[in-house]
Amino acid sequence: MSHQQDVVLQLDKVTKKIGKQTIVDQLSFEVKKGEIVGLLGPNGAGKTTTIRMIVGLIGMTSGEVLINGQSIRSSFSKAIARVGAIVENPEFYSYMTGWDNLKQYQRMIPSITVERMKQVVDVVGLTDAMNKKVKSYSLGMRQRLGIAQALMHSPSILILDEPTNGLDPAGIREMRDYLKTIAQQEGIAVLVSSHLLSEIELMCSRVVVIQQGKFVHEQLIGGAQIQQDGNEEFNVLVRVNQLEQAKQLLVGREELQFIQANELTNELEIRCKDEALANYIHELSAHRISVYRVVEVKRSLEDEFLTWTGGNQIV
């Protein structure tokens, strides 16, 4: 599969102005099949406005949104046909069972089979609750029913605006688990927004950070980071027998950034990429400097976040 085919959602310089205020400012990012991407930003950053533009609830001032290559502006019905979204809280008839609520929705889209309904109910883990009235559902179960409904027409992307709002930690954990299942089993892309870094970190494989309507940073998360191509910079602690000499070898070399030295432990912290580190280790041994340890310094996502946003706290 080529890169282009993998891209399900593409935002290109999406901008929203209301009056004199620019609420979303030239925002570009993409979401690929199988990915769970978090749209992270503090309250008022423009997450809901962005999502409302993606699903066509409001117009864009400029820019473009493509869903499977179809423009939401010029081919709205084709583009939106492949989107499943929950933007506001989904409304259900609380005196009806979960199944009857889904049936109600199915009547509007006749192509949805009962087989398919059972399948999505299973994916969100609600099979046993289908004959219970929605009024007896917990908030988390209502969320899942909403997601089942959004999945019924087999979208290629599922979009959820602040889906964990009001959920307890157990509910959030549950949501993380079934979003992963959905992304894998359904082979679709997922975009979730949140103002909480801790939640995005648990749920997503990649994060797109926005502030005041602008793109700030994007980053792979957790296991996804390992699949990177060696072109990423990282910090590493190198423990040697001759700290001063090892440090001298860094002088004037742009690809090896000196961070700090610890004379007590004989450790140097440097920032570099794969190849630069390999070359440095070769050079250390060429100078007969012994290397005792090479350990990556993992920064928490929260630390990273503070650098991306210039120290602005999010959580």
Give contact residues for ligand ADP (rule: CB under 6 A).
Answer: 18, 23, 41, 43-49
Between residues 48 and 205, which has the closer beta carbon with respect to Mg ion?
A: 48
Residue 171 binds which one of ligand ADP, Mg ion, none, with CB within 5 to 8 A depending on kind?
Answer: none
* Residue whose CB is less far from Mg ion, 32 or 47: 47
Task: Tell the smallest beta-carbon distance from residue 163 to ligand ADP (Å).
Answer: 13
Instruction: Find which of ligand ADP, Mg ion, none residue 231 binds, CB within 5 to 8 Å per kind.
Output: none
In the complex, least distance from residue 196 CB atom to Mg ion, rounded to whole angstroms: 12
Q: In the complex with ligand ADP, which residue's Cβ is closer, 49 or 309?
A: 49
What is the DSSP secondary structure assignment for residue 55, as one 8-state letter?
Answer: T
Q: 45 contacts which partner out of Mg ion, ligand ADP, none, CB within 5 to 8 A by kind?
A: ligand ADP
* 68-87 CB burial, b ≥16 within 10 A, e <16: bebebeeeeeebbbbbbbbb
Instruction: Please say which residue, 18 or 57, places its beta carbon nearer to ligand ADP.
Output: 18
Compute the distance between CA of residue 272 and CA of residue 256 in angstroms, rounded to an integer.
5
- By a kind-dependent CB cut-off of 5 to 8 A, residue 41 interacts, out of ligand ADP, Mg ion, none, with ligand ADP
Contacts of 266 (CB under 8 A, 6+ apart): 239, 240, 241, 243, 292
Give the three-class secondary structure for 262: strand
Binding site partner of 44, from ligand ADP, Mg ion, none, Cβ cut-off 5-8 A by kind: ligand ADP
Closer residue to ligand ADP (CB): 10 or 48 = 48
CB of 42 to Mg ion, least distance (A): 10
Structural contact between residues 201 and 22, judged by C-beta atoms closer than 8 angstroms: no
Is there a contact between 83 and 90 (Cβ–Cβ < 8 Å)?
no
Closest distance of CB 39 from ligand ADP, Å: 8
Provide the 8-state DSSP code for 127.
G
Alpha carbon 173 to chain centroid distance? 16
46 binds, among Mg ion, ligand ADP, none (CB under 5 to 8 A by kind): ligand ADP
Residues in contact with 11: Cβ distance below 8 Å, sequence separation at least 6, in sequence order = 27, 28, 29, 30, 50, 54, 63, 64, 65
Residue with tokens 């742009």: 254
For residue 43, the minimal CB distance to ligand ADP (Å) is 4
| Rounded least distance, CB 49 to ligand ADP, Å | 3
- Measured from the CB atom, the residue of 7 and 203 that comes closer to Mg ion is 203
What is the rounded distance in angstroms from the CA atom of residue 234 to the CA atom of residue 109?
50
Cα 26 from Cα 61, distance rounded (Å): 10
Residues that bind Mg ion (CB under 5 A): 47-48
142 binds, among ligand ADP, Mg ion, none (CB under 5 to 8 A by kind): none
Q: Which two tokens stand for residue 312?
A: 């602005």
Which lies closer to ligand ADP via its Cβ, residue 43 or residue 231? 43
Closest approach, Cβ 16 to ligand ADP, in A, equals: 8
